[in-house]
Chains A and B, each alone.
Chain A
């Protein structure tokens, strides 16, 4: 043990109450930082997992044709952005695109979907729904639909071409359950009858309140579409690399592509803002604790002026004196961060057991949390930086005290 560390420990034990208060500030700051980050990220990740599990990490949509601007007469309004593409509805050469895209290492599975909006009717209840015409085996591989079934059987849907799967909130709205029938209105004005084979819950409110899954052939006939897929959805090994693949697919297939990050941009920004807001608020707590430490150490320096002069007279360097007070800060930061991490983990565990009833943007019956080592790292780093800054000024002040002034003053 170095001499400054030994003396720092002795000085620290001398001012137990003041240091304990500083320690409590750091412990709670770190603990609450971890807990709040675990919660906000928990809700965000639940949303991300749910939306990727239902709508895929990447979607390839309409075919486009680059517009040759050399033939376009320039607009008088120079600020007007020229349309650089002509879009054609539907995916062309679905099989070929799927075959080629499966060659990419990041692609786990892909599934063609024929999408359209129709009206649904059951008894006296009606609703506008988003119809997904799917190929059941492909869709099972590319999404979490099988896991999302909360009532009925997926096989009943697969084996019956006039069967549908409904989102659970839509089923509640239409007041139907498994085995009941609903009617979907075709663009030609005819009602088609379907049997509800299963009810699914993705956890995302907008999906659960509008989504109807039907088999591709039935959807194609109902929607009267000439093509078999209006989009292909992809399951990726690393969803966070979806934007790179999106650009690549656009160039390769000449179809518009959209990653989940782009698709859910506004919701994701909301989560990011929430996390940032909470992080800033809790960081202020840690900074406040740092201010407390600054006061405690400044008082400690003032009360130890005599000891500092003694140490200097015995050959302790300025850097040793500075180290004594920095070590005290480091001890608070170290012990505070460690206990704060334990408190943060305990609070995160506790909060994950708290029952809540959320049925809006997300569906959950308890607080959602994420266990991520980065929360602990950032909380610790924040505490260490705050405490170091708080300790540095008093430490420098102590180091630059002139021992002669103290000794001369005391000996008079």
Chain B
């Protein structure tokens, strides 16, 4: 790997559930994601992909192991501090886009900015407009998100993930709910933005072609990363 490390974790352990239902969801997961690179995590359902993503996104806390985002060690932080860092350092993209349905495209992109509170209303509006223009939605700023197509909604979600200019973007099946064309378009858009703006992208996907288009592919099974390989090289264990 090369470049600055934006996101890294070491020996992450996570148990889910209680007593008999207790599951060892992550078993010593370690990885590094450098700025300007795209990393895909693949694996069967229930292998721990989403659990890893939520821990890296500070929505969940590991039972053991360490986590570093943008050279900042994340350990023993309060919920408030975790929320603040999530707002500043991480952009999320979900499979079902998860937009606020009653908000317009522009208002949706402004939601993370409002929490950060660094820009005026006008500045937030302008930044949201420019981000939406970057995902080819410059003409649909004022359209309510429920009136956008699935592909458009996912592009709004991409713009929203970039709202506070985070160093790390985490995507959970970002193309899982789109048809092939929209899927490829959304991914290409995301890949371009990540490379142009030197972001670090970690995405969880079942789509093999999307995964293979990333710089690195990490294969997970039973809570472990069983193989990691760069683009074009297939792991012998995969």
Count A/B pairs, Cβ under 8 Å.
84
Does A75 interact with chain B (Cβ within 8 Å)?
no
Q: Is the CB of A315 within 8 A of B79?
A: no
Does B59 interact with chain A (Cβ within 8 Å)?
yes
How many chain B residues touch A (CB < 8 A): the figure is 36
A356 to B36, alpha carbons, bound, how many Å? Answer: 84
The A378-412 residues at the B interface (CB cut-off 8 A) are 403-404, 407-408, 410-412
A81 to B57, alpha carbons, bound, how many Å? Answer: 81
Contact with B along A346-359 (1 / 0, CB 8 A): 00000000000000
A112 to B54, alpha carbons, bound, how many Å? Answer: 89
How many chain A residues touch B (CB < 8 A): the figure is 28
Which of A1, A13, A313 is the one whose CB lies under 8 Å from B92? A313
Does A280 interact with chain B (Cβ within 8 Å)?
no
Does A275 interact with chain B (Cβ within 8 Å)?
no
Residues of B within 8 A of A312 (CB): 59, 83
Residue in chain A with minimal CB distance to B99: A310
Does A64 interact with chain B (Cβ within 8 Å)?
no
Does A307 interact with chain B (Cβ within 8 Å)?
yes
Does A14 interact with chain B (Cβ within 8 Å)?
yes
Q: Is the CB of B115 within 8 A of A316?
A: yes
Does B60 interact with chain A (Cβ within 8 Å)?
yes
Q: Is the CB of B86 within 8 A of A407?
A: no
A336 to B136, alpha carbons, bound, how many Å? Answer: 44
Contacts A306-B98, A317-B80, A403-B59; is A408 near B115 (CB within 8 Å)?
Answer: no
- Other than A3-B117, A307-B100, A320-B115, give 20 A-B pairs with Cβ distance below 8 A: A3-B114, A7-B111, A310-B98, A312-B59, A313-B59, A313-B92, A314-B92, A315-B83, A315-B112, A316-B87, A316-B115, A317-B80, A317-B84, A318-B80, A320-B83, A404-B59, A407-B50, A410-B94, A410-B98, A411-B50
Which residues on B are within 8 Å of A, measured CB to CB? 45, 50, 54, 57, 59-60, 79-80, 83-88, 90, 92, 94-96, 98-100, 102-103, 107, 111-112, 114-117, 121, 160, 164, 172-173
| In the complex, the 3 A-B pairs of residues with the closest C-beta atoms, listed nearest first | A315-B87, A3-B114, A317-B83
